[in-house]
């Protein structure tokens, strides 16, 4: 659970507690009648010296941080925010004079309370994005530009079709499968052009994706997974979308994760077969398939390891947290739904790329061996 979510939970509990106490003494105050929380950007003007205080027998270190609001209806307002060490922030995480930060204003029954929730990092992200675009355009040239268009279409499909449809109550697995097909169609042709090679890769990707969906459904059923092993699933359950099909959402997430691997392996295999055919037009279908499969085995050996490390890296903090839990034996930790979900996610992705190699090699060898030119 990250820093911002902890703050939001604790402050919400504080507001509910204060509202209940005031309601016990006077007329009850409805939380729904309070104005919504407000976020704004602010610049840190001064950071006070740390001081210790004791509350209910617990000693904590606090310091006052003076900020100036930069956006919203309270622009140019100077406020003092008290920050404690309850979250054990490292020195790098603590704000300094001149830093930009995000301020949260929460309305309570008496007066609003301000919190520093995060650093303001959007300008830095814009520079990082610009550097990435520059590298892609410089080394990829026109292919790099079209691949970025494919990426943009993929994000738009997820944001404008997949997410709204799921929030509207549609079956997540069906929506994500449809969205995945649209993503493959747009990204492959935009990145690689409208040609025979891309069409063969598209056919191989669609077939491999269908088999991956069947494998994901089978593995999730055998492992008795219900999509409740993550922190995000917990928030979805207690939030307005509590009626969402979390198992379908889990299956859809596995398929989207496998899609990136399939895209890479099918295009690489198809390109390898076509280049082998151009080098020796006399090769038969059988010989093309055999040589292509030899190349594909190298892809499998490298991508299985890459995929496992990618999933492990994304979940590394949670793995460390579980490793520090000495109250539970290892088999109980491995049996937990969070770990089981990551295992199934990795295995489905790995199985998808293993299946994609012979499928894409077969179709590429078949279609290119028929080309007599």
pLDDT digits (tens, 9 = 90+) for 274-317: 999 999 888 899 999 999 999 888 878 777 777 777 777 777 77
Mean pLDDT is highest, among 15-24, 215-224, 297-306, for 215-224
Which distant-in-sequence residues (6+ apart) come within 8 Å of 288 by Cβ? 273, 276, 277, 364, 365, 368, 369
Return contacts of 336-342, CB within 8 angstroms, 24+ apart: 336/229, 337/225, 337/226, 337/228, 337/229, 338/229, 338/230, 339/229, 340/223, 340/225, 340/229, 341/225, 341/227, 341/229, 341/230, 341/250, 342/311, 342/312, 342/315
Helix boundaries (H) for the chain? 3-25, 122-157, 163-167, 172-192, 196-222, 231-238, 246-279, 285-314, 316-323, 330-335, 337-369
> Which domains does the chain carry?
3-120 (2.40.50), 123-369 (no CATH)
Residue entry with tokens 């034996």: 329
Among the ranges given (78-87, 221-230, 235-244), the one the predictor scored with the smallest mean pLDDT = 235-244
Name the DSSP letter for residue 282.
Answer: T
> Is the predicted pLDDT of residue 69 greater than 90, yes or no?
yes
Q: 305, 359 in Cβ contact below 8 A?
A: no
pTM listed for this prediction: 0.74
Residue 27 confidence (pLDDT) above 70: no
Lowest average pLDDT, out of 79-88, 114-123, 268-277, 357-366, goes to: 79-88
User: Cβ-count burial of 366 within 10 angstroms (0-12 exposed, 13-18 middle, 19+ buried)?
Assistant: middle
pLDDT band at 353 (very low <50, low <70, confident <90, very high): confident
**Which residues contact residue 106 at a Cβ distance below 8 angstroms, ignoring those fewer than 6 apart?**
11, 12, 15, 37, 112, 113, 114, 115
Residues 348-368, mean pLDDT to the nearest whole number? 91
CA distance 107 to 364: 63
State the Cα angle at 115 between 109 and 119, rounded to 5°: 155
The count of other CB atoms within 10 Å of the CB of residue 293 is 17
Q: State residue 301's pLDDT score.
A: 78
Give the residue, 280 or 233, on which the prediction is more confident: 280
Q: Which of 18-32, 139-153, 170-184, 286-300 has the lowest mean pLDDT?
A: 18-32
Residue from 112, 342, 55, 138 nearest 227 by CA: 342
Q: 303 or 163: whose pLDDT is higher? A: 163
| Rounded alpha-carbon distances, angstroms, from residue 345 to 121, 155, 310, 317 | 31, 21, 11, 17
- pLDDT > 50? residue 26: no
pLDDT, residue 75, reads 92
Closest CA to 359 of 217, 202, 214: 202
């Amino acid at each position: 659970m990250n820093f911002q979510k902890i703050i939001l939970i604790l402050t919400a509990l504080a507001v509910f507690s204060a509202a209940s106490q005031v309601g016990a003494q006077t007329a009850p105050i409805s939380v729904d009648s309070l104005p919504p929380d407000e976020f704004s950007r602010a610049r840190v003007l001064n950071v006070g010296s740390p001081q210790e205080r004791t509350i209910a027998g617990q000693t904590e270190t606090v310091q006052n941080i003076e900020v100036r609001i930069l956006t919203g209806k309270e622009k140019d307002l100077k406020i003092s925010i008290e920050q404690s060490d309850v979250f054990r922030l490292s020195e790098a995480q603590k704000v300094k004079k001149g830093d930009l930060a995000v301020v949260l204003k929460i309305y309570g029954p008496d007066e609003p309370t301000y919190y520093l929730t995060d650093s303001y990092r959007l300008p830095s992200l814009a520079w990082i994005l610009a550097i990435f675009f520059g590298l892609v355009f410089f080394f990829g040239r026109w292919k790099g530009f079209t691949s970025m268009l494919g990426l943009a279409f993929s994000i738009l499909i997820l944001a404008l079709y997949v997410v709204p449809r799921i929030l509207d109550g549609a079956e997540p697995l069906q929506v994500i499968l449809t969205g995945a097909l649209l993503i493959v169609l747009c990204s492959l042709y935009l990145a690689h052009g409208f040609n025979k090679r891309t069409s063969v890769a598209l056919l191989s990707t669609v077939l491999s994706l269908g088999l991956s969906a069947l494998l994901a459904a089978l593995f999730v059923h055998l492992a008795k997974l219900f999509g409740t092993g993550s922190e995000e699933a917990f928030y979805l359950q207690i939030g307005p979308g509590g009626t969402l099909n979390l198992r379908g959402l889990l299956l859809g997430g596995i398929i989207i994760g496998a899609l990136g691997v399939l895209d890479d392996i099918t295009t690489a295999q198809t390109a390898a077969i076509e280049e082998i055919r151009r080098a020796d037009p006399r090769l038969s279908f059988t010989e093309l398939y055999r040589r292509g499969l030899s190349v594909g085995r190298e892809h499998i050996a490298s991508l299985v390891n890459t995929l496992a490390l990618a999933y492990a890296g994304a979940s590394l903090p949670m793995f460390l947290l579980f490793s520090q839990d000495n109250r539970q034996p290892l088999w109980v930790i491995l049996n937990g739904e969070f770990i089981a979900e990551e295992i199934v996610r990795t295995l489905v992705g790995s199985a998808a790329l293993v299946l994609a190699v012979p499928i894409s090699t077969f179709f590429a060898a078949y279609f290119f061996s028929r080309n007599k030119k």
